[in-house]
Homo-oligomer: A and B are copies of this chain.
């Protein structure tokens, strides 16, 4: 028998990690609901046709496809099979796939549920997504996204609310040194127009998007490979230079001077100025907010504001992202629904909090009371069970040791599990209708009624 293992890029979460993850999710859920977002959930399995073509060519390659059940070859594309053409074969042997993000399923949901929803519709979703990325630091094949989106309005107030939501959640989670970075796709497409490469804006964005990883010279090389001329490459280097100007407003001024009167780009700049100003009024410290004209975000569907959250000196890349999409549901046949959304990368936030040792202490789910078993006979069992039920009835997390093992073994179990209270009840206690309550931290023990023991634990807990 081979040693059991799990797929690369996936993880088991034990009780300690679960307690921390659940705390994070509780914080997010509470904030989402306080901001008026409603919960929805879509299936992990989507029809492959729903996902294909929505994430660019690179994204398509990373989608996990589910093999049709049964004799899948019987209905497969004979030609593709004979050519050994994996890509061409896929549609005939796989109808379903695992969701790649929560945004495309959200768009599909909105179109399918349009008659049941009240617009503008605010939804949140917290769920796993799957990507066949090469696993690495902060990069998993199965990970959790926590998304909030508003669809059915193009009001820039929504962008402001989402920036506030970033700040609220990340502050409450105690994420140290996070920066909310803003840009606007309209500025980037405006620059492409001004540089006369408007039809190749996608290539330009792909190159810019790599700045963090490959630096300014790397971007230049990438642009050259992609066939951009010297003038454009020089302009891009100038643009990157703008990011070193001291304030967001200086940088916006510099970008504005390049863009002249390009209408949509000017609107983008004006929205960003307003958002930066409003965010400060909302109590978000100036240092938390950044404008970065080189921020591109990979996904195709953004058309307006784009967001990313980075953490200073963190071991992972961005921990959150998002943006405005003028027509997300258009891909499913319902045009003109503008939306804006953000996504919290729960696993990366976890990694950051762990790296900085920033989790609250005492998060672990732990049993409060262990009832030990001293005697095997039926009346002792009855008594121990009654004691156990009395503690559970008042809400203490309680366990009965399942066997009348040696007391030393039972106490070691309590210590290993960090259970703070142990109940011992031998014949003499039973005769008196009492129990012995032992404090595992101090080692003190007293003989009490169950009611008095419950009160003693209550006093200690509060």
Residues of chain B contacted by A15 (CB below 8 angstroms): 38-40, 123
Report B-chain residues with C-beta under 8 Å of the C-beta of A246.
none
A49–B2 touching, CB < 8 Å: yes
Contact of A112 among B12, B72, B112, B130 (CB under 8 A): B12
Complex CA distance for A339 and B367, rounded to whole angstroms = 20
Interface assignment of A436: CB less than 8 Å from any CB of chain B: no
Q: Are A381 and B67 in contact (CB under 8 A)?
A: no
B14–A113 CB distance below 8 A: yes
Contact B112 A382 (CB under 8 A): no
Cβ contact within 8 Å between B155 and A413: no
Contact A367–B45 (Cβ < 8 Å): no
Q: Shortest beta-carbon distance, A300 to chain B, in Å?
A: 17
Residues of B within 8 A of A6 (CB): 42-43, 46-47, 50, 108, 112
A257 at the interface (CB under 8 A from B): no
Cβ contacts A103-144/B at 8 Å (1 or 0 each): 000001101110011101011000010101000000001100
User: A7-B45, A43-B12, A161-B400 are contacts. A85–B73 as well, Cβ < 8 Å?
Assistant: yes
Residue A69 at the chain B interface, CB threshold 8 Å: yes
Chain B positions within 8 Å of A38 at CB level: 15, 18, 365
Pick the contact of A64: B69, B153, B367 (CB < 8 A): B69
CA distance A74 to B3 in the complex (A): 27
Across-interface contacts of A67 in B (CB, < 8 A): 64-67, 90, 93-94
- A65 partner residues in chain B, CB cutoff 8 A: 66-67
List the B residue with the shortest CB-CB distance to A46: B6
CB distance from A38 to the nearest CB of B (A): 4
Q: Are B66 and A39 in contact, with the CB atoms below 8 A?
A: no
Residue A285 CB within 8 A of the other chain: no
Residue from B118, B282, B397 in contact with A33 in the complex, judged by beta carbons closer than 8 Å: B397
In the bound complex, do residue A41 and residue B69 qualify as a contact, i.e. CB atoms below 8 Å apart? no
In this assembly, does A406 line the interface, its C-beta being within 8 Å of a C-beta of chain B?
A: no
Interface 1/0s, chain A 153-175, versus B by CB < 8 A?
10101101100000000000000
Contact with B along A1-40 (1 / 0, CB 8 A): 1111111001111110011011000000000011110111
How distant is A111 from chain B, measured CB to nearest CB, in Å?
5
Q: Contact mask A346-388 → B, CB, 8 Å, 1/0?
A: 0000000000000000000101000000000000011001000
Count this chain's copies in the assembly: 2
List residues of A (172-219) whose CB comes within 8 Å of B's CBs. Answer: none
Given contacts A4-B333, A34-B395, A86-B73, contact A10 B153 (CB under 8 A): no
Contact A132 B14 (CB under 8 A): no
**Chain B, residue nearest A3 (CB):** B333
Of B5, B34, B41, B331, which contacts A397 at CB under 8 A? B34
CA distance A282 to B70 in the complex (A): 47
Q: Indicate if A44 sits at the interface (CB-CB under 8 A).
A: yes
CA distance A43 to B381 in the complex (A): 39
The distance from the CB of A39 to the nearest CB of chain B, in whole angstroms, is: 4
- What 0/1 pattern do residues 392 to 415 of A give for CB contact below 8 A with B? 100111111011000000000100
Using a CB–CB distance below 8 Å, which chain A residues touch chain B? 1-7, 10-15, 18-19, 21-22, 33-36, 38-47, 49-50, 61-62, 64-67, 69-74, 81, 84-87, 89-90, 93-96, 98, 108-109, 111-113, 116-118, 120, 122-123, 128, 130, 132, 141-142, 150, 153, 155, 157-158, 160-161, 278, 281-282, 331-333, 365, 367, 381-382, 385, 389, 392, 395-400, 402-403, 413, 416-417
Contacts A15-B123, A35-B397 aside, 9 further interface pairs with beta carbons under 8 A come to: A6-B50, A13-B42, A33-B365, A44-B142, A65-B67, A73-B89, A74-B84, A150-B402, A160-B385
